[in-house]
């Protein structure tokens, strides 16, 4: 059911506005052309891009002030790292320090529980710019943020970072449905040189046989078909404030930070309210939070 309204945009042009619960059409009558079809902040073509590729980069989504406030908090709490923390030595990935007592062993990989760390992180997590996009990508009104695992500030330090091999984030999650979206906010420049993410477009649609993955659910590197798949990867080149949305089935990877500067990114993962964490799994450790109004 549509409501109807009319008004003047310019003296010589009239426009009509139709709106329903979710959809607004703005039509310039003079051209009889729909200029703008909106179901939320993403145009249909941007939403289609996300559906096709399994990821979408939205440039400058966070303001300079927000990025500066977040960076200041992180700089204050990363050396030494304020608990709870995951250390590079915890993950045992290629390049990780072998233990917490080895050289570089105290290098933090993630400052965990970002949502609880400061209101600036909470405000971002529940901001209309983020949540509106997620409602479209996840196709639901009621969106929740997880307080488990990807609720963190990723810190990639020069000198002691590790390689994250090709994986889908579903390896971390236990949910009714593999329908989650992570939101990765760059707090500085990210390129392959400083360990920025690489993604394989369209890989969220693949249903690979178990044999294509190793014991830890990374893509096996000894299989020619995987090599062909990995050759399609593209880097997510980000500037501070740019935001990468990616589906939990999109294969991605990252190398070590070969620059001289700490790389910082804020990451949250979201799902629809009717997609529940499986009880007694790590995904259900802490209650999820509704972020849509
Ligand atoms: O920054 C990285 O090394 C990649 C992180 C990542 O993909 C993950 O934690 O799932």
Is the pLDDT at 12 greater than 90? The verdict is no
Contact by Cβ (8 Å): 197, 244: yes
Token pair 């917490």 in the structure block, residue:
100
pTM: 0.88
Each residue's pLDDT tens digit, 138-157: 999 999 999 998 999 999 99
Closest approach atom of ligand 1 to CA 164: 3
d(CA 97, CA 282): 25
What CATH class does 44-290 carry? mainly beta
**Which pLDDT band holds residue 121 (cuts at 50, 70, 90)?**
very high
Is the pLDDT at 4 greater than 50? The verdict is no
Q: Is 164 in the pocket of ligand 1 (CB under 6 A)?
A: yes
pLDDT at 273: 98
Neighbours of 211 (CB within 10 A): 8
DSSP codes, 232-252:
T-EE--B-TT-EEEEETTS-E
CATH 2.60.120.620 in the chain is located at 44-290
**Which pLDDT band holds residue 134 (cuts at 50, 70, 90)?**
very high
Is the pLDDT at 16 greater than 60? The verdict is no
Closest approach atom of ligand 1 to CA 169: 10
d(CA 72, CA 132): 27
Low-confidence winner among 5-19, 28-42, 79-93, 146-160 (lowest mean pLDDT): 5-19
Whole-number Å distance, alpha carbon 195 to ligand 1 midpoint, is 9
Contact by Cβ (8 Å): 219, 251: yes
Q: 222 vs 105, 218, 241, 270, CA distance in Å? A: 30, 12, 37, 33
pLDDT at 293: 83
d(CA 136, CA 145): 15
**Ligand 1 atom 7, closest CA:** 253
Q: Which residues pair with 34 in a beta bridge?
A: 27
Each residue's pLDDT tens digit, 42-59: 999 999 999 999 999 999
Residue among 114, 254, 264, 282 to mutate when testing ligand 1 (max atoms within 8 A of CB): 254
Residue that wins the pLDDT comparison between 229 and 29: 229
Q: Summarize the confidence of residues 232-247 as an average pLDDT.
A: 98
Residue among 164, 184, 194, 233 to mutate when testing ligand 1 (max atoms within 8 A of CB): 164
Is the pLDDT at 19 greater than 50? The verdict is no
């Amino acid at each position: 059911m549509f409501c109807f309204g009319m008004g003047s945009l310019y003296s010589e042009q009239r426009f009509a506005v139709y709106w329903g619960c979710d959809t607004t059409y703005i039509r310039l009558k003079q051209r009889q052309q729909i200029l703008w079809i909106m179901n939320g902040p993403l145009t249909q073509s941007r939403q289609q891009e996300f559906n096709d590729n399994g990821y979408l980069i939205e440039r400058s989504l966070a303001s300079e002030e927000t990025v500066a406030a977040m960076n200041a908090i992180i700089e204050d709490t990363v050396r030494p790292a304020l608990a709870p923390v995951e250390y590079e030595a915890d993950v045992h990935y290629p390049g990780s320090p072998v233990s917490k007592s080895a050289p570089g062993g105290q290098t933090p990989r993630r400052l965990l529980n970002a949502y609880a760390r400061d209101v600036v992180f909470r405000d971002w997590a529940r901001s209309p710019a983020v949540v509106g996009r997620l409602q479209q990508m996840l196709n639901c009104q009621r969106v929740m943020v997880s307080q488990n695992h990807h609720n963190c500030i990723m810190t990639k330090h020069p000198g002691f970072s590790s390689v994250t091999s090709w994986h889908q984030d579903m390896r971390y999650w236990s949910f009714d449905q593999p329908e989650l979206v992570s939101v990765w906010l760059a707090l500085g420049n990210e390129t392959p040189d400083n360990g920025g993410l690489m993604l394989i477009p369209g890989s969220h649609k693949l249903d690979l046989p178990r044999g294509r993955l190793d014991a830890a659910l990374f893509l096996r590197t000894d299989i020619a078909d995987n090599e062909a798949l990995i050759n399609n990867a593209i880097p997510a080149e980000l500037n501070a404030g740019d935001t990468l949305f990616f589906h939990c089935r999109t294969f991605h990877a990252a190398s070590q930070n070969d620059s001289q500067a700490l790389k910082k990114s804020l990451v949250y993962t979201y799902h629809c309210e009717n997609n529940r964490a499986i009880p007694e799994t790590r995904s259900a450790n802490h209650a999820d939070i509704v972020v849509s109004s």
